Amino acid sequence: MKVSIELTMSPLQDGYEQLIIEFIKTLRNSPFKILENPLSTQIYGDYRPLMEFLTDAIETSFDNQEAVLVYMKLVKSDRSDYQPFF
């Protein structure tokens, strides 16, 4: 089953820029398709392997932070080729 996931990480501490950069680099080094914009990162792939990857990536990031929020939106389908129609 293909999924599309939008992620936004919001560390609740000083020095947050490097923490976000490290997380995005982890996502970029994955075998999944990644699209980025200034507000979030989208990742696309098969549900189970993608969720297993994200579980580990988020846990590693959490281990390096005092307090952090991760917002995640999941869609059941691969929306990586979405084109606006207007």
Would you place residue 2 in the very low, low, confident or very high pLDDT band (cuts 50, 70, 90)?
Answer: very high
Q: What is the 3-state secondary structure (H, E, C) of 45-63?
A: EEHHHHHHHHHHHHHHHHH
With contact defined as beta carbons under 8 Å apart, do 21 and 66 qualify? no
More confident residue, 13 or 69: 69
Q: How far apart are CA 75 and CA 62, in angstroms?
A: 24
pTM beyond 0.85: the answer is yes
Three-state DSSP at 12 gives coil
pLDDT at 23: 95
**Could you give the CA distance from residue 19 to residue 62 in angstroms, rounded to a whole number?**
10
- pLDDT tens sequence across 30-81: 999 999 999 999 999 999 999 999 999 999 999 989 899 999 999 999 999 9
Q: Quick one: pLDDT band at residue 16, thresholds 50, 70, 90?
A: confident
pLDDT of residue 13: 85
Instruction: Look at the block and give the residue holding tokens 């189970």.
Output: 48
Helix or strand holding residue 36 (H, E):
strand 33-36
What 3-state class would DSSP assign to 6?
strand
Rounded mean pLDDT, 5-29: 93
